[in-house]
């Protein structure tokens, strides 16, 4: 960032993806990095290594309610599965958690698009006695149940598409600097 920048409010991502299988899970993570390239994380409600914002969407649940949706808050109906045809490009609108952060000048923001939950690459956040998972940035809330994510569907190759017919974007609520 060339100057100190405040990001406050809801965030969203539009992506165009295809898969080698009939479905795909997309996880998006808004991240901040210091000038030396180290990720800046925060104490979340449970996890001590929480990124700025996260969102996720199963591609087969991409159907929007256009009356309830806004640019910054896509509203998915979840009333029917829209399975993918291998290689078919589909449009995904992914809601992310609202955030409020001031990013200092010289820092970088980044968007990570993954096929699984975010994992902080630094030291462990430990374990709490009543959670089965180690704290790595998502708290105990992981999307890793093999009954819900069978490998034959969710371990396929997912491709991101971008260009004139696939205008992907990250919507950030930038608060103008006071003068």
> What's the pLDDT at 141?
74
Q: How far is CA 106 from CA 7, 8, 112, 174, in A?
A: 15, 19, 19, 17
Q: Which residues pair with 102 in a beta bridge?
A: 6
What CATH number matches the domain at 5-174, 3.40.190.120, 3.30.70.100, 2.60.120.260, 3.40.1350.10? 2.60.120.260
Of the CA atoms within 13 Å of residue 41, those in its CB half-sphere come to: 25
Residue with tokens 């045809």: 85
* Residue 164: strand, helix, or coil: coil
Residue with tokens 């609202």: 98
Sorting pLDDT into bands at 50, 70 and 90, what band is 139?
Answer: confident
Asked whether residue 111 carries a pLDDT value surpassing 90, the answer given is: yes
For the chain, give every domain's residue range: 5-174
Q: Which residue has the higher pLDDT, 48 or 7?
A: 7
Q: How far is CA 170 from CA 9, 80, 109, in A?
A: 13, 26, 11
Q: Which residue has the higher pLDDT, 140 or 84?
A: 84
Q: How far is CA 67 from CA 63, 64, 72, 93, 157, in A?
A: 12, 9, 13, 15, 33
Q: What is the CA radius of gyration of the chain?
A: 17
Give me the phi and psi of 136, to 5 degrees please. -130, 20
**In this predicted model, what pLDDT tens digit does every residue of 67-88 receive, in sequence order?**
999 989 999 999 999 999 999 9
> What's the pLDDT at 117?
87
d(CA 89, CA 42): 35
Give yes or no for a contact between 30 and 5, defined as CB atoms under 8 angstroms apart: no
Sign of the dihedral through C-alpha 132, 136, 54, 152? negative
Q: How far is CA 77 from CA 16, 74, 94, 133, in A?
A: 19, 10, 13, 30
């Amino acid at each position: 960032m060339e100057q100190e920048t405040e990001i406050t409010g809801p965030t969203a991502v539009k992506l165009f993806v295809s898969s080698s299988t009939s479905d795909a899970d997309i996880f998006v993570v808004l991240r901040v990095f210091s000038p030396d390239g180290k990720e800046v994380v925060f104490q979340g409600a449970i996890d001590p290594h929480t990124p700025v914002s996260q969102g996720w969407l199963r591609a087969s649940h991409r159907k929007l309610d256009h009356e309830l949706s806004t640019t910054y808050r896509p509203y998915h109906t979840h009333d029917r599965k829209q399975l993918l045809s291998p290689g078919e490009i589909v449009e995904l609108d992914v809601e992310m958690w609202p955030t409020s952060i001031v990013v200092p000048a010289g820092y970088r923001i980044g968007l990570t698009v993954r096929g699984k939950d975010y994992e902080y690459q630094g030291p462990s956040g430990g374990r709490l006695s009543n959670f089965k998972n180690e704290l790595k940035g998502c708290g105990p809330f992981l999307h890793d149940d093999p009954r819900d994510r069978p490998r034959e569907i969710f371990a396929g190759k997912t491709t991101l598409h971008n260009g004139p017919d696939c205008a992907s974007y990250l919507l950030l609520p930038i608060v103008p600097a006071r003068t």
